[in-house]
Chains A and B, each alone.
Chain A
Amino acid sequence: SQTIHQWPATLVQPVGSPLSLECTVEGTSNPNLYWYRQAAGRGLQLLFYSVGIGQISSEVPQNLSASRPQDRQFILSSKKLLLSDSGFYLCAWSVLARAAVQFFGPGTRLTVL
């Protein structure tokens, strides 16, 4: 069966500090991978998605970046965090063989102070 891991679960960072959130998927090959951000009580904002190693599409211009160094690893980064980067970050995967249903990880709560 497939599982998706995200870490850390919670993170408190000062403004201007760097960020690295990691997501890994097990039990599937060549998945599409996604990073979303969710503000409190709001819907999901797609940040990045990837259809393969090294292939990243950015949906929203911002000071965040994403990388996919391995087939089942997706990393969200920032060189200098802003207050507005606070939120709940969710990683997800999908495969077309499963009708493109997205399956989500447990999420990371990021607070930038």
Chain B
Amino acid sequence: AQKITQTQPGMFVQEKEAVTLDCTYDTSDPSYGLFWYKQPSSGEMIFLIYQGSYDQQNATEGRYSLNFQKARKSANLVISASQLGDSAMYFCAMSPTNAGKSTFGDGTTLTVKP
């Protein structure tokens, strides 16, 4: 069974600063993927970034980077230079590489202050 834990229900960050959203996971699968999604108030789930368990380098997508520490089973999302439009709920998720079912965390609500 897989489990995703997001311990920060809510986070605040000043505009233009960086913020880290925590995610820890537990799985017995040898190969898996980790994902982050953004859900603004409109409700749509927007895929942000993906990290494979065997990837040697941490994933980056524009202002998003995934700080992957396999031994600690953590996959924190780092958002650099926060913008007001980054205010949203953020979900961490994982799935076995060869299976489509994903497990989602409970989410972290990020508020960017001007």
Contacts and interface: CB of A to CB of B under 8 A. Distances in A.
A55 to B, nearest CB: 12
Nearest to B102: A102
A107 B37 CA distance: 15
Contacts of A109: 43
A12 interface: no
B100 to A, nearest CB: 4
Interface residues of A, number: 24
B91 interface: yes
A96 B52 CA distance: 13
Tell me if A's interface is mostly helix, strand, loop or mixed.
strand
Nearest to A95: B100
A90 B45 contact: yes
Contacts of B47: 101-104
Interface string A12-29: 000000000000000000
A109 B41 CA distance: 13
Contacts of A94: 100
A112 interface: no
A101 B105 CA distance: 15
B26 to A, nearest CB: 16
Contact of A49 (B93, B101, B106): B101
Given A43-B91, A44-B91, A103-B47, A49 B107 contact: no
B109 to A, nearest CB: 8
B18 to A, nearest CB: 25
A56 interface: no
Contacts of B101: 34, 46, 49
A100 B104 contact: no
Contact of B43 (A42, A99, A103, A107): A107
Nearest to A6: B44
Interface of B: 33, 35, 37, 42-47, 50, 52, 89, 91, 93, 95-102, 104-107, 109
Given A43-B105, A49-B101, A103-B47, 12 more contacts: A46-B101, A51-B100, A90-B43, A100-B33, A100-B97, A101-B47, A102-B100, A104-B45, A104-B46, A106-B42, A106-B43, A107-B43
